[in-house]
Structure formats: structure tokens, C-alpha cells
A and B are shown apart, each in its own frame.
Chain A
Amino acid sequence: MKVAMTINGTSQQHEIEPRVLLVQFIREVAGLTGTNVGCDTTSCGTCTVLLDGESVKSCTILAVQADGAQITTIEGLAEPGTLHPMQEAFRENHALQCGFCTPGMVLAAVSLLQENAHPSEQEVRSALEGNLCRCTGYHNIVKAILAAADAAEVPA
């Protein structure tokens, strides 16, 4: 099947098998390996990307379902060589260790602040329920997101 979508501002048109998942399309077809895969049951959220601005788990969507969509992966969140304010907040607050969940976690956080610019700690924690991290105990991730919310309007 032919699928066309825009990933990080670049048009991607490819002939694929219908069973190809969006995450496989991103990683294997478009060659963007910043989006990681941590499970096969939609549990861990490491594969989170923005689809038309909203966070989705790209392992749970077929690439064909994203036909015509605008996708943002971690590689497209900020201009090359710079960090998005959420990425900065993660760094400032030591909100990552091994980094494997980080791309998905950052995109989920960006999406959260778009929906709720000033969440409470409990709202942040609830919103992150679908993104697992094994290293940080979430403490500094929550702190980073609250700090990013405090710092400014977070651009999309």
C-alpha cells in the first residue's frame, strides 16, 4: 500500500505492507531511530510521538492509519543543535538516566502542557501513567515538567 505522511516537516511517501506499524514506518522506513520500542502491549509509552499535535503510542497505530498526518518525533521537536524547553527542563532537572524512555516521555510531557499549561503535581503524575521509566522513579521527571510549565509558555 502507498502511504504518505509528513514527519518532522519532511514528506514521506512509501509503498509498505498493510501490517506495518507507525513506529516501524518511523524507524525502519523513514530511518528516524530516536523513537524507541519498549513493549508490544501499548504499556510503556517509549514509542510516543505527536500525531497532528497529540501524543500517541506509535506501536498501536498502523502506518496506514497515519496517512496524511503530520508526525513529530523527538528528532523534530527542536531545531538541530538546540533543545526544546521541555528537553532543557529534563536536562536541568536530571530527569533522565539511561535515556530510553526519554523521547517518549518528553513528547508526552509536551502534549500534556499543550492541554493543561499549569498542571498540579498529581495531574502530571496521572498524565504520565502510560509512560514507564525504570531509572528515575519519576521524581525528577515530574519536577522537570512542573519546572517547564512554570518557566514559560511551552511552544509546540
Chain B
Amino acid sequence: MTAVVGTRMLRKEDPELLTGEARYVDDLVIPGALHLAIVRSTYAHATIKSVDVSAALAQPGVVAAFSGADLRPEWAGPMPCAWPVTEDMLNPEHFPIAVHTACYVGDAVAVVVAETDVAARDAAELVEVDFDVLPAVVDLEDALSDRVLVHEALGTNRSYTWELIPDADAVEEAFANASHTVVERYVQQRLIPSAMETRGVVAVPAVYGGEITLYTSTQIPHILRVLAALTVGVSESKLRVVAPSVGGGFGSKLDVYAEELLCLALARRLRRPVRWSEDRMENTQATIQGRGMIQHMELAADADGRVTAVRARLLADMGAYLQLVTPGIPLLGAFLYGGVYDIPAYSFVCTGVFTTKTPTDAYRGAGRPEATYALERAMDALARQVGVDPAEIRRRNFIHPDQFPYSSSGGLIFDSGNYEPALARAMEMAGYDQVRSDQAARRSAGATKHLGIGLSSYVEMCGLAPSRVLSALRYVAGGWESSTVRFLPTGKVQVVTGTTPHGQGHETSWSMIVADQLGVSPDDVEVLHSDTSIAPHGMDTYGSRSLSVGGTALWLATEKVIDKAKLIAAHQLEVAAEDLDYAGGTFTVKGSPDRTMAIGAVAFEAFTAHNLPDGLEPNLEASSHWDPPNFTFPFGTHICVVEVDEETGKVDVLKYVAVDDCGTQINPLIIEGQVHGGIVQGAAQALFEEAIYDEDGNLVTSSLADYLVPSAADFPSMQTDTTVTPSPTNPMGVKGVGEAGTIAAAPAVMNAIIDALSPFGITDIDMPATPQRIWTAIKQSTDASGASGASGAGASGASGANGASGAGANGGPR
């Protein structure tokens, strides 16, 4: 049988998705289900004085209505945060529905349950909540001053400070001796993940058996099952969690949400199924947001621009509460502020801060896009100081191929890498030298449309995660993954995986791996997932972990199946197991190529159990639980070419090139799809998206009409290529690719924009680089140079949502 791994096999998932046959949560028909509507705080910060649900209860079709105080006895514990990053981290008590104080616009304060969705929503309008409005605190630096406390009982808005400073003296010394020092301040604006499917939940109780089935649009049915059982106080053995088709997640469905717990508690209390569908405005307010940081980034370098130390200080916006892994998100980037560069001294400090806004949590890349952005922007700043091309500054600092496995000063061991070929290939594809000469030609011709070219070389830390490392980082669970592989009597194969795909194509990729290992057609492999009754063990899907951890567990399970099959084949062929070769699904007696037995035939023998070796159990099935010994470290270089119109400030992306290395490739078609989507999501941070709050803590961008998710018209087709540097961390050599595009894209786009604006002396623009921000920065730069006629005039532009200083433009035209 021809190998399928490495081929562009079309996805098995597609026909049902293309025809509307797939069932998302909202499509599930549940007889007798009640509908939940949630009354949410319209204030960012307010004491709940009273909640009157009587008018709502009087409406036809309304079955029940409750305040947070009414439902307080339903909770066996507060909402879970699984990552207390420091021993003294402050974590305010947080229940699915606020009892005393609402802490962000969208915080649940009352619920209505009715026979129909319309009746529930109509009645929710009639719930009267008497609020005592408290001051909001929106700006991160303002929050740190504790002028306004989000949680009075904590006495401070500072949740934690986490440090990674292996050798403080070395860092001080490097800065003291530096020929060049880069000191930058970057704002990671808040982003709204905006999966196309909003969240939906149905809790279905079995009144007599006591079981509850929770159907929910989640990335983490397994983690949710444990934590929901603990929070709602139901036995884990009585709770089944199912994620049906899930319409995208990007980290936003990697959480234990209030609505999941509310549906469970209300279904238990009312003894009827209870369902909830999130509308898009709720999705912007009550689903977690991403990013939200202020980064102080410093590099020390020698005269040639070789970086000798990195010093990063972060303020990270937690929002009002700590959700599942909120405080840990900056830590996922904490080790990568040195990126692909050989930097001997390292310092990272992050302070997590509460604000009266929607909680933040994992969003595609989670910490790593932020780290890559800060570093790649700073490397361009260094290149400008040293006076060399951005490509050259990168080459001078790359970790060399012979340094792998590489012990980074941040404390990681990079498994494998070869950074320069990816850079070289990307430059070749982008026509780098040609673009540079076109750029120079336009500049000398005085063109008003400026070309800019931006590079981003990245490395990510994927394959979450070695359980012992998670323990050291104070994460409360492990990072293993699980799989079971079983032959059915007819030679078909059933795979059970603990990963939870929601668009990544695991059914296809997992089938391909099994097909090659067991010599069956991918069509004859059934992949079961996302249901805790069918796949009881799992750690789910996030952090580009599914293939390198879950795929490895699967691969190991197939090896165990082959090992057992070999014993049976040897028995049947009357030879010793050592005398058998195995390839492509067939056992062959060494030296006797005509004496063979197909593994499918072995499976049938294992099923009938008529003639098995003494003591061997029937059936051909094996499970594996894989705990990776290390992370994986995918890498690559992306290049963006933009045109910026100085008269309008508009940016057009002319070309986008990506060369990524995710190790061994299972399905290049799927890899390209992940890269494409990631790039546009990352570029959207650079160009379009920002969750904007006003000073009272109202989310101004609470619809898709206001929050600019890019359309097909906003970005060009991309050119992608790959290099292949297998990972030594797992037997297949795979690394993961789900977040690469998002990690690389924002700095590539922003570096291109700033490169285009260099004739104006502009060295910083906040994301998103809107036409208004760019136009303002150009105007201030030209005004300043006109007024002073000298360099060094600082211009500050549009301010960021976090009250950050905006487009700082230093220096006059060159």
C-alpha cells in the first residue's frame, strides 16, 4: 500500500460540513428543552442592590427566573482558574452569576428560563436590577495605581508578578557594556476571538438515572467535565460532556464558562433540558478576549548588532476575573522573548492586573504572538540603530544549526532548528532585493505611495506540554494525551483520541497516520472524539498540541497493536516473533517472502480467539498515554510587502510570503490551510482589530459591524513554502502548525508599515495601524520637521485603547 502520510489527501470531514449535515450545538433537536436567557450588567462596575424577577416570571412561557443570590447555593465552588502562576497570586471569588458586584459589562446578574428562546429573551428585558454604579477602571497603568479597585476585598488590582531572571547580574552587565541599546514600548491591544460560531450549550438531565449530558461548543470537553463536576457539585461519573461540530475556537472555547455551569445547574434544578445560544453581542462581551498587554522591551547589543541581553517587562490585562488559564497566558510567551536568536542574558517580568473589562484568556498563539511581536519589532529597531538591513541583523543573531538541541537563556531546550534557510527562501520568494530597489526608486522619485518590507522570524513553543514542566509552572493538570486503536472484526480500525478538533481535520490526519502504520485505507479508519463517554481520557485541543502530543499517542498505540499482532501472526505462521518482518500491514517470515499474514487477518483471529497463543487476551486493541519529554519548536520567516499611501494613511498588503517549518508533515494541504488562516488572523491584529472600551468600561466594538474581522477583500492571496526539520522529541518528528501564522504575521505587517514610513522618521505605530493613525503620524512628523527643521521632534499620535501612548514618531525625514 502506498504511503499516505505526506500527501495532500482531501479531508474526510468535508462532505457533511459542505452539505449542512454537520450538527453544531444550536442544530441539536432536544425535545422539551427550556431556553435560558441571561440578564447582563450594563455597567462595568456596580454593586447589585436588588434583583426583581417578578415581572419576568409573570410572562407567558416563563418557567423560572433567578438572581445570582438565588443561585448561590447551586455552586459547590467558585469558577475554576487552573493556573495559579505564583504562590501569592490573588484570585477573586468568581461565580457563574454575580452575587454582590458586577465587574464588567456583560457580567451575568440574572437568568430567565422559558419554553422558547423568544419568551426567555423578552422576559429577560423585564428583570429589574437596581445597581449602585461604581467607578470603572479601564486603562492598565491606571489600574496598577489602585486608584479604583476592581475587587475591594483584594485591596489591590495587582494579581501577581511572575519573573524569569536566570542571571540578573549578566543582564545588568550586558546593558552596561552595550554599544547599542533598544528601548521600546509596545501595546498589544485587546482582541475579540470571533469564532464564526458563537457559543451554545444544552444540558440534558436523565431525571431517574441522575446523569447529565452537556452538549457544548467547546475545545475542551475533558477538562470541562472535571471542572464542571467540581463547580456544580455533580459526580464526575454522572456527567458526560459532548462537543458536537464546533465552529471554530481559536482559544475562545478553551474555557469553563458561566453559561455551561448555569445550564447544568438549572437542568438539575428544573429537571428538564436547558439550552442557551449566545448572540454575537454576548460573544463580544461574555466570551474571553485575547492579548491586552503593555510591553516594555529592551535589547542590549554589541557594535555589530549582536544581541547580548533581552529585558522584557509586561503589564498583562486579566480583565475582571481569572478564567481557566488567564494568568498563565503571558507565561506561554515568557520564554520566547529571545526568539530565534542566540542571546546569552535574559530577563522577563510580568505583572497581571485586574480591570473592569471582560476577562482575557487564550487566543490563537496565546503569549507567543505577543513575545514574537515585541522581539521582531525590537530587532528592526536595532537594525535601524546599527545601520544594517533587517535581514542581516537577523542572520547575525540566529542560533546556528549546530547549536541544537539549544539551551536558551530563557531556560528552554529548543529541540531542532535551521533558521537561515527559511529566511533565505522567504527572501527569494518575496523578491526581496527587487522590492528594496523598487522602494528606493519610489523614494527618490518622491512617490506618495511608499513601499515597505517587513520581516518576522519566529520560533514557537508548541506541543503543550510536558507534565513536569507544567507542574514547575504551577499549572494544576498534566499535558499528556491519550489514544486507543482497535481493529474491528472485519479489519476496519477504530481510533479513539483525546484531542478535540474544531476545524483542524484530525479525522483526516489521524486516519492517515493509522493507514500507514496498519496498512489499511484511510477510509477504513473511524476516528472517535469529543465525547467523554466515548473518549474518556484526553486533554483536548489548543496550543498546537494535537498532532505532536495526541498524534504521538496514536502512533504509539498503533505500535502496541502491531506488537500484539506480531505474537498472533507468529503463532499462526508457526515461527518465532523475532522471525517476522512487518511492513505496510503485512507480517512476512524472514527469508520466506511467500509466508505472510495480513494484519487484518490477524485481527480476525484475535476476534474469534479460536487459535491464539496461550495466555494472550482476545481482540486487537491498545491504548497509549503520551507525556512529551519536551515542547516542540516550529519556526520560520514571514515577509510582508505593503504600500502606504501618505495622503490617506491607507495600507495595502501587496505580497505576503511565509516559509514555515513544522517538522515532519502529515498533510501539506491542511498545513497550508492552518498557515493561511493564521496569517490573516495575525495580520488582522496589525491592521484592523481592536476591542475598544470607553472610559466607563463600555465595549464600543460589540458587534461584527464595529469590530473589523477582515473579509476576503482585505488581504491578498499568500505565497507559502516550507522547510522540514523533524523534531527529535517524538517518533514521527512532528511539531505543530496551528498558531504559526498568527505568531509570525503581526510583526511582519507592522515592520513593513514602519519600513514604509521610515522617510518620515516614524519608528512606531500602535496596532491596529488604521489609516487614521498612520495619517496622523505622518502629519505630525511632517509638521514637526516643518516647524523645527531638525530631527528629534517627537510626535505622538492616536492613543491606544489601553490609554497607551500612540504612534510615537521620532526624528524628522531622513
Knowing A40-B703, A94-B669 are in contact, say whether A87-B19 is a contact too (CB < 8 A). Answer: yes
- Report whether A125 and B197 are in contact in the complex, using a CB–CB cutoff of 8 Å: no
Give the residue name and chain of the B residue nearest to A28 (CB): B117
- Report whether B20 and A33 are in contact in the complex, using a CB–CB cutoff of 8 Å: yes
Distance in angstroms from A104 CB to nearest chain B CB is 9
Q: Which residues of B contact A92 (CB under 8 A)?
A: 10
A32 at interface, CB cutoff 8 A: yes
Picked from B17, B502, B709, B741, the residue with its CB within 8 Å of the CB of A96 is B17
Give Cα A1 to B542, complex, Å: 47
Sampled A-B contacts (8; CB under 8 Å): A17-B118, A37-B26, A44-B280, A91-B15, A94-B670, A99-B13, A102-B18, A138-B711
B248 at interface, CB cutoff 8 A: yes
A134-B196, A138-B680 are known; give 9 further A-B pairs, CB within 8 A. A43-B704, A94-B10, A103-B20, A125-B712, A129-B711, A129-B712, A135-B673, A136-B673, A138-B715
Give Cα A87 to B27, complex, Å: 21
Residues 98-151 of A contacting B (Cβ, < 8 Å): 98-103, 106, 121, 124-126, 128-143
- Report whether B717 and A35 are in contact in the complex, using a CB–CB cutoff of 8 Å: no
A13 at interface, CB cutoff 8 A: no
Residues 599-619 of B contacting A (Cβ, < 8 Å): none
* Interface core residue of B10, B280, B681 (most chain A CB under 10 Å): B280
* Binary contact readout A29-45 vs B (1 if CB under 8 angstroms, 0 otherwise): 00111111111111110
B466 at interface, CB cutoff 8 A: no
**Interface SS majority for chain A:** loop
- Report whether A137 and B10 are in contact in the complex, using a CB–CB cutoff of 8 Å: no
A73 at interface, CB cutoff 8 A: yes
* Binary contact readout B101-139 vs A (1 if CB under 8 angstroms, 0 otherwise): 000000000000000001000000000000000000000
Knowing A32-B20, A33-B20, A37-B26 are in contact, say whether A134-B248 is a contact too (CB < 8 A). Answer: yes
- Report whether A96 and B712 are in contact in the complex, using a CB–CB cutoff of 8 Å: no
Q: Which residues of B contact A87 (CB under 8 A)?
A: 18-19
Residues 240-267 of B contacting A (Cβ, < 8 Å): 245-248, 250
Q: Which residues of B contact A138 (CB under 8 A)?
A: 676, 680, 711-712, 715
Q: Which residues of B contact A44 (CB under 8 A)?
A: 196, 280, 704, 709
Give Cα A152 to B435, complex, Å: 38
Give the residue name and chain of the A residue nearest to B741 (CB): A137
Interface residues of A (CB under 8 A from B): 17, 27, 31-44, 46, 73-75, 77-78, 83, 87, 90-92, 94, 96-103, 106, 121, 124-126, 128-143
Give Cα A31 to B711, complex, Å: 30
Distance in angstroms from A126 CB to nearest chain B CB is 5
Q: Which residues of A contact B279 (CB under 8 A)?
A: 40
Give Cα A126 to B248, complex, Å: 24
Knowing A36-B197, A99-B13 are in contact, say whether A137-B681 is a contact too (CB < 8 A). Answer: yes
* Interface core residue of A43, A121, A126 (most chain B CB under 10 Å): A43
B14 at interface, CB cutoff 8 A: yes
Knowing A44-B196, A91-B10 are in contact, say whether A96-B18 is a contact too (CB < 8 A). Answer: yes
Knowing A87-B19, A134-B194 are in contact, say whether A97-B10 is a contact too (CB < 8 A). Answer: no
Give Cα A60 to B304, complex, Å: 61
Give Cα A130 to B10, complex, Å: 27
Distance in angstroms from A62 CB to nearest chain B CB is 14
B718 at interface, CB cutoff 8 A: yes
Distance in angstroms from A148 CB to nearest chain B CB is 13
- Report whether B20 and A74 are in contact in the complex, using a CB–CB cutoff of 8 Å: yes
- Report whether B704 and A39 are in contact in the complex, using a CB–CB cutoff of 8 Å: yes
Q: Which residues of A contact B194 (CB under 8 A)?
A: 134
Q: Which residues of A contact B196 (CB under 8 A)?
A: 36, 38, 44, 46, 98, 100-101, 132-135
B24 at interface, CB cutoff 8 A: yes
B705 at interface, CB cutoff 8 A: yes
* Interface core residue of B20, B27, B715 (most chain A CB under 10 Å): B20
B176 at interface, CB cutoff 8 A: no
Q: Which residues of B contact A132 (CB under 8 A)?
A: 196, 704, 709, 711
B195 at interface, CB cutoff 8 A: yes
Give the residue name and chain of the B residue nearest to A74 (CB): B20
Interface size on B, residues (CB 8 A): 55
* Binary contact readout B702-714 vs A (1 if CB under 8 angstroms, 0 otherwise): 0111000101110
Give the residue name and chain of the B residue nearest to A73 (CB): B20
Residues 196-253 of B contacting A (Cβ, < 8 Å): 196-198, 245-248, 250
B504 at interface, CB cutoff 8 A: yes
Residues 11-35 of B contacting A (Cβ, < 8 Å): 11, 13-15, 17-24, 26-27, 29
Give Cα A94 to B680, complex, Å: 16
* Interface core residue of B29, B503, B504 (most chain A CB under 10 Å): B503
- Report whether A97 and B27 are in contact in the complex, using a CB–CB cutoff of 8 Å: no
- Report whether B20 and A91 are in contact in the complex, using a CB–CB cutoff of 8 Å: no
Distance in angstroms from B369 CB to nearest chain A CB is 15
B281 at interface, CB cutoff 8 A: yes
B679 at interface, CB cutoff 8 A: yes
- Report whether A137 and B678 are in contact in the complex, using a CB–CB cutoff of 8 Å: yes
Picked from B29, B248, B669, B676, the residue with its CB within 8 Å of the CB of A98 is B248
Give the residue name and chain of the A residue nearest to B284 (CB): A39
Picked from B21, B26, B677, the residue with its CB within 8 Å of the CB of A135 is B677
Give the residue name and chain of the B residue nearest to A35 (CB): B20
Give Cα A90 to B13, complex, Å: 12
- Report whether B711 and A33 are in contact in the complex, using a CB–CB cutoff of 8 Å: no
Q: Which residues of B contact A131 (CB under 8 A)?
A: 711-712
Q: Which residues of A contact B281 (CB under 8 A)?
A: 40
B370 at interface, CB cutoff 8 A: no
Q: Which residues of B contact A135 (CB under 8 A)?
A: 196, 248, 503, 673, 677
Picked from B505, B676, B704, B711, the residue with its CB within 8 Å of the CB of A136 is B676
Knowing A100-B247, A140-B676 are in contact, say whether A43-B24 is a contact too (CB < 8 A). Answer: no
Distance in angstroms from A25 CB to nearest chain B CB is 13
Give Cα A135 to B684, complex, Å: 13
Distance in angstroms from A55 CB to nearest chain B CB is 15
Knowing A36-B24, A99-B503, A138-B680 are in contact, say whether A128-B704 is a contact too (CB < 8 A). Answer: no
- Report whether A142 and B712 are in contact in the complex, using a CB–CB cutoff of 8 Å: yes
Give Cα A139 to B745, complex, Å: 15
Q: Which residues of A contact B10 (CB under 8 A)?
A: 91-92, 94
Residues 661-712 of B contacting A (Cβ, < 8 Å): 669-670, 672-673, 676-681, 703-705, 709, 711-712
Per CB-CB distance, the 8 closest pairs between chain A and chain B, nearest first, are: A34-B20, A99-B17, A100-B247, A98-B503, A137-B680, A43-B704, A33-B27, A97-B503
Give the residue name and chain of the A residue nearest to B283 (CB): A39
Picked from A90, A103, A137, the residue with its CB within 8 Å of the CB of B14 is A90
- Report whether A99 and B18 are in contact in the complex, using a CB–CB cutoff of 8 Å: yes
Picked from B13, B712, B718, the residue with its CB within 8 Å of the CB of A141 is B712
* Interface core residue of B13, B18, B705 (most chain A CB under 10 Å): B18
Q: Which residues of A contact B22 (CB under 8 A)?
A: 99
Q: Which residues of B contact A75 (CB under 8 A)?
A: 19-21
- Report whether B705 and A83 are in contact in the complex, using a CB–CB cutoff of 8 Å: no
Distance in angstroms from B183 CB to nearest chain A CB is 34
- Report whether A83 and B18 are in contact in the complex, using a CB–CB cutoff of 8 Å: yes
Distance in angstroms from B640 CB to nearest chain A CB is 13
Give Cα A28 to B245, complex, Å: 19
- Report whether B280 and A36 are in contact in the complex, using a CB–CB cutoff of 8 Å: no
- Report whether A90 and B280 are in contact in the complex, using a CB–CB cutoff of 8 Å: no
- Report whether B505 and A39 are in contact in the complex, using a CB–CB cutoff of 8 Å: no
Give Cα A44 to B707, complex, Å: 11
Knowing A40-B280, A98-B196, A126-B713 are in contact, say whether A139-B676 is a contact too (CB < 8 A). Answer: yes
- Report whether B11 and A137 are in contact in the complex, using a CB–CB cutoff of 8 Å: no
Picked from A38, A96, A99, the residue with its CB within 8 Å of the CB of B280 is A38
Give the residue name and chain of the B residue nearest to A146 (CB): B717
* Interface core residue of A32, A92, A139 (most chain B CB under 10 Å): A139
Q: Which residues of B contact A98 (CB under 8 A)?
A: 17, 195-197, 245-248, 502-503
